[in-house]
């Protein structure tokens, strides 16, 4: 069925990444209905522009995907969706998203057009440049933060930007590890895989995990956060951050299943519970629980 294939082509399961659009609202603790509505619209627009990029990427990689044991079943690679329809969807999704964003405010438009241009460059060339590819992926997550902040007039702190970038970099290098494992089995499909090997990606993942944890601890005890949130106990939430990082590394190193961070979060109950507990503990502490 064409409708089903179009939905698959849009990759709606990837929209979980766009939850980062809500992060500025969460950390501002200004949960007004209008703010939530505005950020929700930004989330929808970002999802639309992201889907147009996913389609463009599939279109650019169609020949490679045909040789891939899993990706060959994607709508374009399998021939279930025509190239003409794919191009039409790219134009419609990107145009509607950008026009609406421009009508809302110029800052949101600037973020979306920057994301669009950056990822077009990524799909055409930059994803084949080792290191540059994962930095672009991480930058995309930071742009999600700016999209959410642009519609609620919230200034992002350096901490949320740094930690989002580091976390995204960690997930991106974990995904590349999966590509390396795949290549070691004689099924190389990425041109940039020669820029990575197992020893390198393992070392980078360990390094990034340590930097993320230290950065989060510094965030929880920083004077700016203490003054804004009026609590000295936020460091307790570090427990769940460490647990989540360790679980992801267990999945990556022990089970060797880090190909899709989105699917892992959607399927792994351990990660879901850990993220939920972090969120709940964060809210409880910020709302003024006294441990003394």
Looking at residue 230, its pLDDT comes to: 82
CA distance 180 to 139: 22
Where is the domain boundary, 119, 139, 156? 156
Distance CA 169, CA 149 (A): 21
Q: What is the pLDDT of residue 232?
A: 87
Are 143 and 240 found together in one domain? no
* Structural domain range at position 196: 157-292
Residue ending a domain, choose from 111, 127, 156 = 156
H or E segment at 224? helix 223-229
Name the H helices within 61-194.
62-67, 75-78, 83-104, 106-124, 132-150, 158-184
Query: Residue 80: which CATH number?
Result: 1.10.357.140
Residues 24, 125 share a domain: yes
Which is nearest to 47 in space by CA: 196, 147, 170?
Answer: 147
> DSSP class of residue 234?
G
**154 conformational bin, left if phi > 0, alpha if psi -120 to 50, beta if neither:** beta
Cα separation, 199 vs 173, in Å, equals 12
4 and 58 housed in the same domain: yes
Q: What is the pLDDT of residues 252-280, one digit of tens each?
A: 999 888 767 888 888 999 999 999 999 99
Same domain as 212, residue 98: no
Instruction: Calculate the alpha carbon distances from 135 to 183, 253, 265 in Å.
Output: 21, 22, 21
pLDDT at position 192: 59
Name the domain count of the chain.
Answer: 2
Same domain, 117 and 196: no
Smallest CA-to-CA distance from 198 within 179, 218, 220 is with: 179
The 3-class secondary structure across 22-76, one letter per residue, is: HHHHHHHCCCCHHHHHHHHHHHHHHHHHHHHHHHHHHHHCHHHHHHCCCHHHCHH
Per-residue model confidence as pLDDT tens digits over 31-59: 788 999 999 999 999 999 999 999 999 99
Q: What whole-number distance in Å separates Cα of residue 281 and Cα of residue 250?
A: 23
Q: Are residues 248 and 278 in the same domain?
A: yes
Which of residues 109, 134, 156 is at a domain's end?
156
Is 290:230 a contact under the CB 8 Å cutoff? no
Are 180 and 84 members of one domain?
no
Are 132 and 240 contained in the same domain?
A: no
Assess whether 102 and 233 both reside in one domain. Answer: no
Handedness of CA 112, 117, 123, 125 (dihedral sign): negative
Instruction: Tell me the backbone φ, ψ of residue 117, rounded to 5 degrees.
Output: -65, -45
Same domain, 161 and 149: no
Handedness of CA 147, 150, 156, 158 (dihedral sign): positive
Q: Specify whether 140 is located in the same domain as 76.
A: yes
The pLDDT, as a whole number, for residue 292 is 41
Positions of the chain with pLDDT lower than 70, given as ranges:
1, 68-69, 186-192, 259, 288-292
Whether residues 169 and 291 share a domain: the answer is yes
The reported pLDDT for the residue numbered 190 is 58
**pLDDT, tens only, 9-32:** 999 989 999 999 999 988 877 778
Tokens coding 154: 């919230």
29: exposed, middle or buried (Cβ count in 10 Å: 0-12, 13-18, 19+): exposed
> Which tokens hold the place of 217?
């601890």
| Nearest CA among 227, 226, 243 for reference residue 235 | 226
């Amino acid at each position: 069925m064409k409708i089903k294939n179009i939905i698959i082509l849009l990759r709606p399961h990837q929209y979980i990444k766009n939850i980062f659009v809500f992060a500025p609202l969460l950390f501002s603790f200004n949960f007004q209905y209008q703010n939530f509505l505005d950020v929700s619209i930004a989330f929808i627009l970002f999802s639309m522009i992201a889907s147009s990029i996913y389609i463009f990427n599939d279109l650019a990689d169609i020949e490679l995907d045909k040789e891939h044991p899993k990706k060959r079943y994607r709508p374009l690679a399998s021939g279930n969706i025509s190239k003409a329809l794919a191009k039409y969807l790219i134009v419609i999704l990107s145009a509607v998203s950008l026009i609406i964003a421009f009508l809302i405010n110029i800052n949101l438009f600037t973020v979306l057009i920057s994301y669009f241009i950056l990822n077009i460059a990524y799909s055409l060339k930059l994803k084949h440049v080792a290191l540059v590819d994962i930095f672009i992926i991480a930058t995309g997550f930071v742009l999600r933060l700016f999209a959410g902040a642009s519609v609620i007039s919230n200034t992002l702190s350096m901490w949320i930007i740094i930690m989002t970038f580091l976390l995204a970099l960690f997930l991106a290098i974990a995904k590349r590890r999966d590509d390396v494992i795949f290549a070691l089995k004689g099924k190389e499909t990425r041109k940039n895989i020669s820029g990575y090997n197992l020893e390198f990606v393992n070392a980078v993942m360990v390094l990034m995990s340590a930097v993320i944890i230290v950065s989060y601890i510094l965030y929880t005890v920083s004077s700016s956060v203490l003054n804004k949130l009026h609590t000295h106990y936020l460091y307790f939430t570090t427990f769940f951050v460490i647990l989540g990082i360790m679980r992801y590394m267990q999945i990556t190193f022990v089970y060797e299943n880090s190909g899709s961070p989105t699917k892992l979060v959607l399927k792994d109950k351990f990660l879901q519970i850990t993220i939920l507990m972090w969120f709940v503990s964060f809210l409880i502490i910020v709302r003024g629980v006294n441990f003394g």
